[in-house]
Amino acid sequence: MKLIVAVVQDQDSNRLSSALTKSDFRNTTLASTGGFLRAGNTTFLMGVEDELVSKALDLIRDNCRSRDQMVAPVSPMGGNADSYIPYPIEVEVGGATVFVLPIEQFHHF
């Protein structure tokens, strides 16, 4: 058994949640915030049998896409102003960051 932890941009989370439900993958979602853009994310936690990991990863890949977005950088609060960029910049956002971890034991009470 594996634990899949997928950090997904909020724009992709509803689509992914629906796809996981249709494919009978149970999951728990947590609201989270990215450290770089300070934007909303959803973190999905899924316990998955070893033989279904590739199917779950395919669903994540198919439903979470990256895109370019203009963002206004966060001003430095007490930090070094030398590295502060005062104008919007284009960055790649979206997609999914996925961790697949081995599970030693699983209990459902």
The Cα–Cα gap between 8 and 57 comes to 13
Query: What pLDDT, on a 0 to 100 scale, did the predictor assign at position 79?
Result: 56
Query: What pLDDT, on a 0 to 100 scale, did the predictor assign at position 88?
Result: 73
Ranges of the chain whose pLDDT falls below 70? 34-39, 68-86, 89-94
Query: What pLDDT, on a 0 to 100 scale, did the predictor assign at position 84?
Result: 56
pTM summary value: 0.75
Q: How many CA atoms lie within 13 A of 103 on its CB side?
A: 17
Q: Are 64 and 9 in contact (CB under 8 A)?
A: yes
Task: Please list the residues that pair with 71 across neighbouring strands.
Answer: 89
Query: What pLDDT, on a 0 to 100 scale, did the predictor assign at position 38?
Result: 62
The Cα–Cα gap between 71 and 18 comes to 28
> How many of the other CB atoms lie within 10 Å of CB of 46?
21
> Which residues in 86-96 are b (16+ Cβ under 10 Å) and which e?
eeeeeeebebb
